[in-house]
Amino acid sequence: MLMVVYCAPQIFAADNRYADVFGHYENRQYRYAVMIPEGFHGSQAKPPAPAHGFFIPLADSQDARIDVDANYNTLEYKSVSEAAQRENSWFVERCANSPRTASKPATLGSMAAVSTEVGCIGQGSSRSVVLESIVAIGPTSSHYMTAVVYRVILISTKERHRGDKG
pLDDT in tens, 134-160: 999 998 765 666 889 999 999 999 998
In a domain, 63, yes or no: yes
With bands split at pLDDT 50, 70 and 90, how would you rate the model's confidence at 98? confident
Pairing mode, strands 65-72 and 148-157: antiparallel
Please state, in angstroms and rounded to a whole number, the distance separating the CA atoms of residues 155 and 130.
Answer: 6
In a domain, 1, yes or no: no
Determine contact, residues 101/92, Cβ cutoff 8 Å.
yes
pLDDT cut 70: percent of the chain above it: 87
Determine contact, residues 18/44, Cβ cutoff 8 Å.
yes
Which range, of 6-10, 47-51, 57-61, 162-166, averages the lowest pLDDT? 6-10
With bands split at pLDDT 50, 70 and 90, how would you rate the model's confidence at 17? confident
CATH of the domain at 129: 3.40.1000.10
Count of all residues that appear for the chain in the document: 166
Number of domains in the chain: 1
